[in-house]
Amino acid sequence: MKLQDIKGSYDVIVSLGSACNPAVQLRRHNLRTFSGPLDWTVSLSLSNVSRLLKNKFKGFMELENMCLIEGAFDALDDGIVLEGVKSHLVKDTHYDILSVHDFPIIPNQDWTATYPSYKEKLNYRIERFLEKIIFSQSVLFVRWAASYDQAVELESVLSDIVKGQFNILILYPVDGLEEVIEMEWGIDRVCSLKVPNIPFDNSTWDYVLQGITINN
């Protein structure tokens, strides 16, 4: 699919990672209508995301599969920075997906102390996400970074899940690139674009998302 082919209005537009930049840009363009379970995570492999979707998030971020990773990022409340608060990096080893903003570093307190409230919020987001993508008449999925084979896999998985029409927009970052270039992958319902490897570059996202709207 070409970029022009995916222009139009959708009932739902969601981010599939690989980091928070798609969610941030969808919100900036008023295309993000709810919080998704992958919005503020790092998922370097789209194959793991496809496996997660195929399993309908079964086992995702279960405590027995999570481990603390060295490092810290800003703590967020649905994308809003909590001033002066840093967050632990916590990895789901089953799906190799990293939570980077959800577990505030609290002095003299283990990272697991806030897990119950996090998991309750995550389960709600998963339930709502699945309901939206399964039953909406039109859905656009947005992903930063994917290979051809991973895109084929994702399209196949979503074909078994989504009851309505859907398209997949993949931004394929390339170092040193200065413009957006359409790629001819020839995959049904997939538009793939080479883009500058600047994840939060507003000009790239403005160009890509122009003409895409959300149904009221």
Residue 203 has a pLDDT of 97
Encode the chain (216 residues) as per-residue pLDDT tens digits: 999 999 999 999 999 999 999 999 999 999 999 999 999 999 999 999 999 999 999 999 999 999 999 999 999 888 888 888 999 999 999 999 999 999 999 999 999 999 999 999 999 999 999 999 999 999 999 999 999 999 999 999 999 999 999 999 999 999 999 999 999 999 999 999 999 999 999 999 999 999 999 998
pLDDT for res 57 = 98
Report the pLDDT value the prediction gives residue 9, as an integer from 0 to 100: 98
**pLDDT of the residue at 78:** 83
Tokens of 85: 């608060």
Phi-psi region of 30 (alpha: psi -120 to 50; beta: other; left: phi over 0): left
Q: What is the C-alpha separation between 154 and 146, in angstroms, rounded?
A: 10
CB atoms within 10 A of CB 175: 7
Contacts of 48 (CB under 8 A, 6+ apart): 95, 96, 97
- Residue span of the structural domain in which 30 resides: 3-214
Is residue 76 within 8 A of residue 87, CB to CB? The reply is yes
pLDDT of residue 7: 97
Q: Return the CA Rg of the chain.
A: 17
Number of domains in the chain: 1
